[in-house]
């Protein structure tokens, strides 16, 4: 499974999540669970959400609604963030596969 995130300026400090493109999901994937994590003095979860696998390989912009708030680093800071994307199958709390998309919005 590969994950690409189309992060743009409109997603900074915003409740609008970016489009997430997923290719080659594992067989049996029914949904995805996504969490955004900020790395600083401590790790902070900035929310996320879930999305049913619909066969098109895209979690649309704005689809993450579970207390989601986008990265909001201080000007000039090189704060690191990661989107954790878990491929899930119905009825099993154990992910089939997890991928991490790490980035710094100020770079």
Q: What are the C-alpha distances in Å from 80 to residues 48, 92, 107?
A: 16, 31, 10
Residue 102: the pLDDT is: 95
**Structural domain of residue 32, as residue ranges?**
2-103
Residue 24: the pLDDT is: 96
**Considering the entire predicted model, what is its pTM?**
0.91
CATH of the domain at 97: 3.90.280.10
Phi, psi for residue 38 in degrees, rounded to 5: -105, 135
How many C-beta atoms surround the C-beta of residue 97 within 10 A? 13
**Higher pLDDT pick, 106 / 87:** 87
- 29-85 pLDDT, tens digit per residue, is 999 999 999 997 789 999 999 999 998 999 999 999 999 999 988 777 778 999 999
3-state secondary structure of 64: coil
Residue 107: the pLDDT is: 62
Count of domains for the chain: 1
Residues paired with 58 in a beta bridge: 21
């Amino acid at each position: 499974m590969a994950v690409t995130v189309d992060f743009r300026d409109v997603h900074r400090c915003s409740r609008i999540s970016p489009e997430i493109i997923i290719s080659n999901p594992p067989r049996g994937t029914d949904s995805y669970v996504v969490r955004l994590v900020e790395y600083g003095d401590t790790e902070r979860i900035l929310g996320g959400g879930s999305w049913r696998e619909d066969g098109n390989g895209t979690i649309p912009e704005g689809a993450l609604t579970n207390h989601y708030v986008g990265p909001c680093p201080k000007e000039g800071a090189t704060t690191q963030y990661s989107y954790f994307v878990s491929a899930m199958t119905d009825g099993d709390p154990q992910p089939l596969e997890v991928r991490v998309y790490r980035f710094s919005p100020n770079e």
